[in-house]
Structure 1
């Protein structure tokens, strides 16, 4: 007996509402991460320590560093104490910290406030995707989880367009860019009050009556949930056991390499376009165009994930990243940066578009899917938090190394560096990834446990 009522349900308005409110946090992450790339152009360089590569890198990475800690800490707490409570608190934290960072006065205040803001964003990565996965019918689970990525790029696109429109306000325009993010956050927080607790988490904690009520509210029917109870007092300990080692290794490698490459490029996309010869406003507009094509890639992923499968679209995505980044590296190696757009502008722009489309089709979509599907209810938010934290290490690597590689070795070398990371992600997907499409969360878990039991039996 499983969660048949949830797994076989028809899509209804409550499913859509839960998904929309969960991906709202990802939208805000996309907005906040991307708006800093615009803000860096107009902020006072001496006051905010932006007259050095180190200062730029640390401010750009501040929220990501906070997410590194917030995701694993609050993912663990979410598995122990429930999804819904943290679901509310982390959004309230985002609102308060976003308002505070808009009034920051120097490097230290901005860095600390954005770091704490990152704690809340990291928590939402772990919680939001977990809630979607545990409420979704099997038929629609992949599509609904991938809307996280679509939402992230919508947030990034809104950030680029907002930055472009607010730029004429001058050196203080970055404060308005930050404050703008509060509006959707308040709306999301108010509407999240009506989202119920996960029936799967409630059942694991022995609260079967409450779980049955949630199932009935969502689907109109319920299952015999009393026999499914499976509590785990230490999610992190089980997550690190041999049972999940291969899955954990895969999630860590493919998400790390993807984020290192993606954040290294996306955070500095206006700066990159300036390096290649575009003026500031046109560079910001070009960055917005890239985000729009990433949205297209996310839509394609939604259409393909339950047809081709998770592994297939991840391989397609990494392959596109490898080809586009390698091509960009070769072009800029032979053409001086400032002349690149004059001589090879169309080709360069095309390669960037391929990069943004394919990364969104592949690892940029499945990083919100695999951690949710490969691990059981009692460890799911911790696993998503672990993957997010490891990915933030990759993001920090990409953000902090990009300016230094460009300064010391040149722009083309940085592109070859990200190409190599993408190759590693591709190989990890080919050899370590499991296909999970069309299976319930419990079936996937039984398959993974069965592999361990088979391996143990064969060793005797």
Structure 2
């Protein structure tokens, strides 16, 4: 919801503040600069102090910063607040998928992660509703929209008090008694009690295991460097095409001759197609596997982007946009599912954070490149470039491991 809101805010600021395309690009890109930094720092911290702690902190940071950005009186101030929003949000995304992947059983782990990521589409749809109903309602409509985005900060309290810490993380840090307590909590909820084996360190007094924490260098060790390079390539290309297209979508539609309200309505229709995309990905990822599902949805994204670039009337724009939403967000779900599976526990969050961070570099560049590409060749060239990035991402999937039905590596 938070990221989606800014696309509707940009469309109104272009009219209300008479901002240039480059100024709008920097407002959008500032959030992605923060997301790049936040993703890396969040992953590193999550492998040191825990997934839950970082998750709660990030909710607080980006919720408060979003609410504060509603008070911005200039482009510079709004850019500063968007950086802080990105800092919190960038850290939250890889940490959340890492935490859930470490709880999910192998048989349905991929599906669980795709379903988790499908709430991105729900949030973006809510943002589209707010953009359609609230942003055009008054001159301060964009401020009220951002004020709504402060709500997640309240959820941080619940997360801190009730969300369990990853058992795999606790064991990797030698906190076996706490890990056993968390497992017992799940057993009690299922009305099943399984006594720990006699060799369990928690039974023997909690002898600590001295596992080293992950580092950047470990991601490029001989056994992992190929996977890391492929993962970073996919993240970079998917981010470039997704954020380049969807952050600018309302503004592109306005520039194509649609009114502000009508462009917001079309964007809402296109956004709703994200949900069945996630559902299809969640179903197929445990049948086809991670790589096949990701590659198919990326090729579908490339084809849809090409169709959008040559669309000439309203029905073609909406149809191509819905296809792009369907395939692109299905690919996102599969990408988040495969990312934590690439690395062992001690560097899992670090690896996911650096992969997301590499992608956010593309998210920074994409909004800046959109005005230049549109000036050079219009919407056709713009979406042809996006299609090309999707094809490269599909090729990158061949370097990723297939972990369907397998336990996470320790």
**Same fold judged by TM-score > 0.5?**
yes
Of 286, 290, 293, the match for 2:266: 286
Secondary structure of residue in 1 paired with 2:336: coil
**In the aligned structure 2, how far is the partner of 1:322 from the partner of 1:43?**
30
Pair 1:360-2:334 in alignment:
no
**In the aligned structure 2, how far is the partner of 1:282 from the partner of 1:259?**
27
The residue number in structure 2 matching 1:52 is: 20
Q: Is the 8 A contact 1:125 1:384 kept in 2?
A: no
Q: Is the 8 A contact 1:316 1:361 kept in 2?
A: no
Residue 44 of structure 1, CA deviation: 6.8
Q: Is the 8 A contact 1:65 1:396 kept in 2?
A: yes
Aligned length: 398
The residue number in structure 2 matching 1:301 is: 281
Which residues of 2 match residues 307-318 of structure 1 at below 5 A?
Answer: 307-318=287-298
Of 346, 354, 358, the match for 2:315: 346
Q: Is the 8 A contact 1:44 1:171 kept in 2?
A: no
Of 397, 400, 405, the match for 1:433: 400
Residue 125 of structure 1, CA deviation: 1.3
Superposed CA deviations along residues 265-306 of structure 1, whole A, max 9, x for unmatched, are 111111222233322111111111111101110111112211
Q: Is the 8 A contact 2:136 2:261 kept in 1?
A: no
Residue 106 of structure 1, CA deviation: 0.9
**In the aligned structure 2, how far is the partner of 1:434 from the partner of 1:239?**
14
Structure 2 stretches lacking a partner, 5+ long:
188-192, 202-206
Which residues of 2 match residues 13-412 of structure 1 at below 5 A?
Answer: 31-43=1-13, 51-187=19-155, 189-219=157-187, 220-221=193-194, 222=196, 225-226=200-201, 229=209, 231-329=211-309, 331=310, 340-341=312-313, 345-362=314-331, 364-412=332-380
C-alpha change, 1:111 and 1:225, in structure 2 (3 Å) is farther
**In the aligned structure 2, how far is the partner of 1:178 from the partner of 1:347?**
31
The residue number in structure 1 matching 2:204 is: none
Residue 188 of structure 1, CA deviation: 5.0
Residue 153 of structure 1, CA deviation: 1.0
Secondary structure of residue in 2 paired with 1:289: helix
Residue 258 of structure 1, CA deviation: 0.8
**In the aligned structure 2, how far is the partner of 1:91 from the partner of 1:289?**
28
C-alpha change, 1:240 and 1:175, in structure 2 (3 Å) is same
Structure 1 segments (4+ residues) deviating >6 Å: none
Secondary structure of residue in 2 paired with 1:441: coil
**Aligned-residue CA RMSD (Å):** 2.0
Superposed CA deviations along residues 61-115 of structure 1, whole A, max 9, x for unmatched, are 2211100001101211110121222122111112321221111111111111110
Structure with bigger helix share is: 1
**In the aligned structure 1, how far is the partner of 2:284 from the partner of 2:71?**
44
**In the aligned structure 2, how far is the partner of 1:135 from the partner of 1:302?**
17
C-alpha change, 1:230 and 1:421, in structure 2 (3 Å) is farther
**In the aligned structure 2, how far is the partner of 1:45 from the partner of 1:272?**
13
Of 416, 424, 436, the match for 2:384: 416
C-alpha change, 1:100 and 1:272, in structure 2 (3 Å) is same
Residue 184 of structure 1, CA deviation: 4.1
Secondary structure of residue in 2 paired with 1:125: helix
Secondary structure of residue in 1 paired with 2:212: coil
**In the aligned structure 2, how far is the partner of 1:357 from the partner of 1:304?**
14
| Most deviating of 213-222 and 373-382 | 213-222
Residue 42 of structure 1, CA deviation: 2.0
Structure 1 stretches lacking a partner, 5+ long:
1-30, 333-339, 446-460
C-alpha change, 1:407 and 1:234, in structure 2 (3 Å) is same
**In the aligned structure 1, how far is the partner of 2:209 from the partner of 2:227?**
24
Q: Is the 8 A contact 2:55 2:92 kept in 1?
A: yes
The residue number in structure 2 matching 1:451 is: none
